[in-house]
Amino acid sequence: MLSIRKLHAGVTGKEILHGIDLEVRAGEVHAVMGPNGSGKSTLAQVLAGHPGYLVTEGEILYEGRNLLEMPPEERAREGIFMAFQYPVEIPGVANAEFLKAAVNAVRDHRGLEELDAMEFLTLLKEKMNLVDMDPAFMSRSLNEGFSGGEKKRNEILQMALLEPKLAVLDETDSGLDIDALRTVAAGINRLRRPDNAMILVTHYQRVLSYVTPDRVHVLSNGRIVKSGDHTLARELEARGYEWLEATAEALPR
Amino acid sequence: MTDRTTKETFLAAFAERDRRGFADDPPWLREARRAAMERFAELGLPTTRDEEWKYTSLAPLVETPFDLAAEETGEIPAEEALGSSAGSSSWSRLVFVNGRHVGKLSTVRPLPPGGRLGSLAEALITDEEMVRAQLTSVGDKGEGAFGSLNEALWPDGAFVHVPADTSLEAPIQLLFVATPFERPRVDHPRSVIVLERESRAVLVETYIALGPGTYLTNASTEIVLGPGAALDHHKIVLEGGQAFHVGRTRVRQGRDSRFTSCSLGFGGRIIRNDVDVLLAAEGSECTLSGLFVIGGRQHVDTHTVMDHAQPRATSRQLYKGVLDGRARGVFNGRVIVRPGANGTDAHQTNKNLILSDGVEVDSKPQLEIFADDVKCSHGAADGQLAEDAIFYLKSRGLDEVAARTLLTHGFAREVLGRIRVETVRKWCEDLLRGRLRGGRVAEATP
């Protein structure tokens, strides 16, 4: 589904990713872990197409297509979804209004008829149950004044509504109390299917106690320094990132 | 006939009108008109050298050869032509065509005894003493040049009198319609709205153009609120693309009265909007909001004066602008807290959304505080649509245009959401949608 090959990327004047290789197949959940500043969020932003990040080398193929040539909205319509680490607050735009616009933009692209108000509400109710979200949030402005946990639930709700093929969750577990973390993790598990894939970008192992990944990759200084199965996450939790950073130093640039 | 419009052409037009047209007016009114014209003669038409007009050049107006002698109403449009600007059929509606009341387009719902709703010119005949009392009490309060011109030259307008302890549920609409004329003309509608003690009303003041043309609307609306009275006021300016609108809303608030006003500016070449509120008694509350959405070479200048003359009054102001093309926006918000007006609570905000590099905005708060124990604050912010917000929406499948449109509506909604009359709110949302094409503010229609 996704092939990242020798990816070098960063912001203007500063390379952050120094050659990433990653293969993600349908049905798989990958965890990308690493300390702060290792390049995890940069990888997520590059996949979503954030205009502030530049790819200087390498390629990304998504279902055989050159992802880097697709603008962010086309990526979304083609089934890529990023759950933001810091979802943007948008005053004056009701959550439900935004969600309906997003769902219909994606449906339109897929050749499906747009949902009318009633059909959308039915779908919305069903998906809100999934993330245990209070309906009062639908008439409120998008993310405005939402707590950290409410914002993350709202991201998972969007994911549930848009039914992506490839979801990239950027630190969706950070800043959540244990109840919110369980709800969010349960939402992720219920959205896991044989025909879609997920990349969980996370600093901590704790979300991985609820969502078992197929593969775990450790990112350090812009490279994947170690990959393994879900037991690698536990090992990291026990030993910290330091033991791997030494390995990263030794790699050729 | 001259090519330009100047102080002299107005003086000459007045002299002619005073000889013929105003001959039927009662002596006190002729006197008031002359006094107002004398004030205008001293002031002259404002230029950018006047502090109050620093950012708004009237050169395009001066260079227009207005036909100041025009008095006829012109062709009366069919009711259907008013379209959605005419609001709901449950409202009371006074229609003015080129400044004159047109009865056959108007609908007046019954009022309780003592209530009045109709043409000011007619009230001058039927209720002279009532009109006189109001016109002389709200008369000279240091009117500027255009206010003086209106006082001197008004032919008609609305007269609304809501008796004490009366609650009018259905909105009252004052609909001012400009129709095309061969030569550019000037209209000076003057309206007087009086709410007696503990009464309530909703007012919708609308200015529209039917067809193209250059004209000037020089409108004055005077509002007097008795103790405990509450008025919910809306002003919608949808003048033609070549039109000038210079309007004043002057309000005098009694004890514990409430004045809420929302002004929306969509159409007009140059729009100048003055809102002067005198919080003349304790415990009065005033909330002003405004939104203008302009593109091309449109120019909107809002001047507010919030005069806290007595203790424990509250005022809130929120003015927002959406500007594109080479549009220009001016906001001047003056708040005066008089000596002894303790416990004043005044707040003012001006925010502008700038959609093009050619836009210019001048925003100036002016706080003059002469009392202790007051809460007074102001804030201003001008900016573009946030890139991170655009990216967030794109990452959910919305294209650039859809993202920008949604965000711009979001910006405007803070003001539109305050409109409590659903018919008005929906109409304004439609007007906003109509002005935003492809995420940009379209040029105004001629």
Answer whether B395 sits within 8 Å of A87, measured CB to CB: no
φ, ψ for residue A153, nearest 5 deg: -60, -40
Q: CA nearest B87: which of B324, B353, B428, B400?
A: B428
Residue B202's pLDDT is what?
98
Q: CA nearest A248: which of A223, A217, A216?
A: A223
Answer whether B398 sits within 8 Å of A49, measured CB to CB: no
Please give the Cα distance from B195 to B197 (Å, whole number).
Answer: 7
Among candidates B388, B402, B410 on the partner chain, residue whose Cβ is nearest the Cβ of A105: B402
Across the A/B interface, how many CB contacts are shorter than 8 Å? Answer: 74
C-beta contacts of A203-206 below 8 A and 24+ residues apart: A203/A33, A203/A34, A203/A35, A203/A36, A203/A40, A203/A171, A203/A174, A204/A173, A204/A174, A204/A237, A205/A33, A205/A233, A205/A234, A205/A236, A205/A237, A206/A173, A206/A181
Contacts with B293 from chain A: Cβ below 8 Å: none
Residue A3's pLDDT is what?
96
Answer whether B397 sits within 8 Å of A87, measured CB to CB: no
Q: How far apart are the first and last CA of chain B?
A: 25
| A34-92 pLDDT tens trace | 888 899 999 999 999 999 999 999 999 999 999 999 999 999 999 999 999 999 999 99
Q: Helix, strand, or coil here: B299?
A: strand
Residue B2's pLDDT is what?
54
Residue B142's pLDDT is what?
67
Please give the Cα distance from B407 to B436 (Å, whole number).
Answer: 11
Contacts with B388 from chain A: Cβ below 8 Å: 88
Band of residue A251 on the pLDDT scale cut at 50, 70, 90: low
| Both tokens assigned to A95 | 């959550």
The half-sphere exposure of A191 on its side-chain side, counting CA atoms within 13 A, is 31
Residue B138's pLDDT is what?
55
**Residue A247, pLDDT above cutoff 70:** no
Name A202's bridge partners: A33
Is the CB of residue B433 less than 8 Å away from at least one CB of chain A? no
Q: CA nearest A144: which of A89, A87, A86, A95?
A: A89
Residue B445's pLDDT is what?
64
Among candidates A73, A91, A158 on the partner chain, residue whose Cβ is nearest the Cβ of B414: A91
State yes or no: ipTM above 0.90: yes
CATH, residue A34: 3.40.50.300
Full domain range(s) for residue A90: 2-250
Among candidates B397, B412, B414 on the partner chain, residue whose Cβ is nearest the Cβ of A76: B397
Q: CA nearest B289: which of B230, B214, B348?
A: B348
Contacts with A114 from chain B: Cβ below 8 Å: none
Q: Most A CBs within 10 Å: which of B398, B405, B425, as the mutation test of the A interface?
A: B398
| Candidate from A212-216, A228-232, B290-294 with smallest mean pLDDT | A228-232
| Both tokens assigned to A248 | 């990263």
The number of beta carbons lying within 10 Å of the beta carbon of residue A148 is 14
Q: Report percent pLDDT > 90 for chain A.
A: 67
| B257-283 pLDDT tens trace | 999 999 999 999 999 999 999 999 999
Residue B72's pLDDT is what?
78
Answer whether B398 sits within 8 Å of A109, measured CB to CB: no
Residue A188's pLDDT is what?
87
Residue B116's pLDDT is what?
95
Which residues does chain B have with pLDDT short of 70?
Answer: 1-2, 138-142, 444-446
Min distance A104 CA to chain B CA atoms (Å): 9
Is the CB of residue A131 less than 8 Å away from at least one CB of chain B? no
Mean pLDDT of all residues in A114-125: 93
Kindly give, in sequence order, each residue whose CB lies less than 8 Å from that of residue A166, ignoring residues fewer than 6 positions away. Answer: A1, A2, A24, A62, A79, A80, A81, A196, A197, A198, A199
Answer whether A51 sits within 8 Å of B387, measured CB to CB: yes
Q: Report percent pLDDT > 70 for chain A.
A: 96
Token pair 């880097």: residue: A68
| A128-137 pLDDT tens trace | 988 888 888 8
Nearest CA in chain B to A144: B410
Q: CA nearest B322: which of B290, B298, B354?
A: B354
Q: How many domains does chain A have?
A: 1
Q: Helix, strand, or coil here: B251?
A: strand
Answer whether B397 sits within 8 Å of A106, measured CB to CB: yes
